[in-house]
Chains A and B, each alone.
Chain A
Amino acid sequence: MLSQILFYFFAGVAIVSALMTVTRRNPVASALWLVGTFFALAAIYTLLGAFFIGIIQILVYAGAIMVLFLFVIMLLNLGNDFEPDFRGTVWKVMAAGSALVLLALLVRVVGGTESLLVATGGVDLVAAQVAEYGVVGAIGVPMFLDYVVPLQVTGLLLLVAVVGAVVLAKRDV
C-alpha cells in the first residue's frame, strides 16, 4: 500500500519534471528539472528493489553528467539566456517524429496483457541474482563474467571519444 502511494507520487513527479524540462525556455531551468526527473526515476528504481541502479542514476546522471551539462550551458549562454532553441518547422517535425518513435517503443514494452519483463521471466531472474550475489553483485557478476567483451568494447569506445575530444580541442597535438 505504502509503496503504491510512493510509486504514484514519484511517477507523478517524474512526468511533471519531464514536461517542465521540455517546456522551460531557460536552459538552466530545463537542466534542473531534468535532474528532478532523474531523482524521481531513481526513487522508482529503489522502490522496485534495484538499489544499485537507483543510486547509480543519481551518482552518474545527476551527480556528474548534469553538472557538466550545466557547466556548458552556463558558458555558452552568457548574456542571452532566453534564446528559443527550435527555429523552424523542420526541427519541430523531427522532434515530434522522435517522440512518436519513443512512444511506440513504450507501448510495445508496457502494453499488451503483460509486460515484456514479466513475460520473459525477468522479474524472477533479477530476484534470484540479488539473492545470490547481493545488490551490487547482481549487476557486477554478469557484467564482468558473461558480458566482459561488450564491456571492454564499450570502454574502448569511450577511450576513442576521449581521444577524439582532445584532438578536436587541441589542433596542434
Chain B
Amino acid sequence: MENLISIFLNSVFVGNILLAYFLGMCSFIAVSKNIDTAMGLGFAVVFVLTITTPLNWMIYYFFLAPGALSWVGLPDLDLSFLKFIMFIAVIAAIVQAIEMVIDRFSAGLYSALGVFLPLISVNCAILGASLFMVEREYTFIESVVYGFGSGVGWMLAIVAMAALRIKLRYADIPKGLEDYGIAMIVTGLMAMAFMLFSGISF
C-alpha cells in the first residue's frame, strides 16, 4: 500500500510526466489559453491514461514480453519490439471506442470531452506513460496507479498553466517573447517549483 501511495505521489509531483519528462508539450502549449478547455482536456487525459496504461500492461505481459507466449507453447518468442506499434494501435482504438461510448450514453460528458478525444491519441504523454510502465517494470496494480497519477499530474500542470496565462495577458512582455516564448519560460519556472517536492519523502 505504501508503495502505491509513493508511486502515485511521485507521478503527480516529483516525476510529473509533463514537467520532468516533457511529455505532452504540444497540446500543453496549444490548449492552455483557457481554464475551461484546459480542465476538459485534463480530465480526458486522466480518463484515457487510467484505461490505456493497464490495458497496455496486459497486452505487453500476456503477448509481447520475452517468454510471454509460453501459454500457447512458444516460450522462446520475444515480441517486445512490437510494443510501439501495438501500444499506439491500442491507444488509438481505445480513444475511438471511448468517444463512441460517451457519445451514446452521456451527452453532457460528450460535449465536454468530445472535441478533445481525437487530440489525445497523438498526445505523447499517453504513449510515454505506457512505455515508462514497461521500462520501470510495474506490476498490474502499480500500472493502474501510475496511469492515474500521471494523468492527474498532467492535468494539474495544464490547469495551473492556463491560470498563469490568463494573468499574463495583463503583463507587458517584450515583442517576440509573447505567447510561445513566455509560455516556455513560465513552464520552466513551474518545473523548478515542482522539483522542490523531491525533498519530501514518504
Do A and B share a complex?
no
Question: Which B positions have Cβ atoms within 8 angstroms of A?
Answer: none
Question: Which A positions have Cβ atoms within 8 angstroms of B?
Answer: none
